[in-house]
Every structure is written in structure tokens, then in C-alpha cells.
């Protein structure tokens, strides 16, 4: 889903997080990135590369190289599984 990069920040264990505003009160965020190739304010398109995963140490039993993905609509978290095709 296309949108505008709203924020790039540092999250747990110095990994990076990219938040995207999709309009109409929809936002998504991608955490656990080691490198980001977009900038705040940049418009992005569906399937555009925004960064790369880092070598994340095991946390809560999760193996390395994983992405934390969240979707929010009107301030409420949304289960993204209902939108996967």
C-alpha cells in the first residue's frame, strides 16, 4: 500500500523502525531493520524496498532475521493476516 514515510526511529537493540502513513487513518510500521534506504517525508509505493533486516539476536524464542510488522487504523491495532493475499 503506497504512503509517505512518517518516521524513522531506533527501536530495541539499536534496530531501526520505519513508520508509513497510508492516509485515511492507516499506518504501518516495520521494526527490526538494520539499514533503511528511505527518508522521512519520502513517498513510497507498494512493494518498494524500504530497508534490510538486521542480524537480530534471539528474543522471546524468535530466530534471527525477522521483521516486526504492525498495522494501525484509527489508532487501533489491526491484525494484518486478514489482508494477506
**Per-domain residue ranges for the chain?**
3-83
Phi-psi region for residue 67, left (φ > 0), alpha (ψ -120 to 50) or beta?
Answer: beta
- Taking residues 64-75, report their average pLDDT: 87
Mean pLDDT across 56-78:
77
pLDDT in tens, 14-64: 789 999 999 999 999 999 898 999 999 999 999 999 999 876 544 555 566
User: Has residue 66 got a pLDDT over 90?
Assistant: no
| C-alpha cell read off for 45 | 509505493
pLDDT score of 81 more than 90: no
The pLDDT score that the predictor gives to residue 46 is 93
Domain 3-83 architecture: Distorted Sandwich (2.70)
Q: Give the pLDDT score at 56.
A: 59
Amino acid at each position: 500500500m503506497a504512503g509517505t514515510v512518517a518516521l524513522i526511529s531506533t527501536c530495541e537493540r539499536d534496530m531501526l523502525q520505519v513508520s508509513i502513513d497510508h492516509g485515511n487513518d492507516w499506518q504501518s510500521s516495520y521494526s527490526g531493520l538494520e539499514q533503511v534506504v528511505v527518508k522521512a517525508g519520502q513517498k513510497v509505493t507498494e512493494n518498494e524496498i524500504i530497508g534490510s533486516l538486521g542480524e537480530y539476536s534471539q528474543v522471546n524464542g524468535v530466530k534471527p532475521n525477522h521483521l516486526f510488522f504492525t498495522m494501525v487504523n484509527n489508532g487501533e491495532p489491526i491484525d494484518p493476516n486478514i489482508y494477506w493475499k
